[in-house]
Structure 1
């Protein structure tokens, strides 16, 4: 039987984008003097950014579990989208480490194609994982959930100064994900999810 998702993972779903909001605010503070980094706001912000993306990795596995439980036909698609998302997250983490430790970036810079592909991979993988439960029968996530996440992603691409607003959009879009718990089921029975009462 598939166990129900735990409350700890529920918290990660919302903590991760909120850390992105905090990073965005600290980035704005850091840029008040007309330049970004290095300094206290830069270092604290990037540390929160790094932890946030580690948690996005945890959230990715939760999204995969929901997608696999709600769309039995799409298990391979969910696994592929998960792999693509994790690749993007790994690229993000490497870039953040390079921003925090200039010597690392000088010694082993991330190739520019990966710098471009990483964010796209993360975003594409997540959108697939969010859309799958939306298109399931019965629908496991509201249509507005992936739409808000997409809007947040678009804001990031328009201007990094919009990170706080984009992070709030991600948080709102992930609220339904935080409330979902996958029900236990026996092999051969229909997949399903239920709304957690927590």
Structure 2
């Protein structure tokens, strides 16, 4: 009876996983495009519409990536509860990293916030790494339990790598992340259940 209940849960829950993944990737792409537009004249204007809109898209994208992390954690715990500790640690790392991103973006958008609550250097250095490591670990776990194809986390890693090499590669990196997250869909849940 308990196994049947978890299968029902797997079929009916996690409906936000794929829409959040797709939307987060597209928002990241929008941020990248606006960042390029903002830099066409050779400098970035922190009070210009492209910069402000781009950072707002980035903020929303990171919040949606946090939704992906939470949804993916729940799905993995339903489909493969044996690795609960690893799944929880990866999700926790990803969420801490996402919170670090949000802190920094809010500081960029609202200078008074940055002055009142400056982020520690650890957040600036460790936040992105924790976010990426946590999300990638969850995606690899999804490959192991056959919820994703093997190439999906490879594309996400390549996308993060492109962004780390040069922020002007954000649109390419976002497109790679989009491709890697696109297979997250309800049909995968039905196969797993």
TM-score norm. by structure 2 comes to: 0.89
Give 1:114-129 correspondences, 5 Å limit. 114-129=123-138
Quick check: 1:85–1:121 contact (8 Å CA) kept in 2? Answer: yes
Aligned to 1:20: 28
Q: Distance in 1 between matches of 2:187 and 2:25?
A: 17
Deviations 1:13-72 (A, max 9, x none): 101110000000001111112222221101111111111111111111121123223333
Is the helix fraction higher in 1 or 2?
2
Deviation at 1:6, TM superposition (A): 4.8
2:57 aligns with one of 40, 48, 57 = 48
Q: Distance in 2 between matches of 1:7 and 1:108?
A: 35
Q: Distance in 1 between matches of 2:161 and 2:94?
A: 17
Deviation at 1:179, TM superposition (A): 4.3
1:149 aligns with one of 144, 156, 160 = 156
Q: Distance in 1 between matches of 2:117 and 2:183?
A: 40
Aligned to 1:175: 182
1:92 aligns with one of 84, 93, 101 = 101
User: Are positions 1:73 and 2:82 aligned together?
Assistant: yes
Shift in CA distance, 179/171, structure 1 to aligned 2, threshold 3 Å: farther
Name stretches of at least 5 consecutive residues in structure 1 with no aligned partner: 184-191
Aligned length: 184
Give 1:126-137 correspondences, 5 Å limit. 126-136=135-145
Q: Distance in 2 between matches of 1:160 and 1:181?
A: 33
Shift in CA distance, 86/8, structure 1 to aligned 2, threshold 3 Å: closer
TM-score norm. by structure 1 comes to: 0.87
Q: Distance in 2 between matches of 1:60 and 1:9?
A: 8
The DSSP-based 3-state class of the residue aligned with 1:176 is: coil
The two structures, once aligned, show a CA RMSD in angstroms of 1.6
Q: Distance in 2 between matches of 1:181 and 1:135?
A: 13
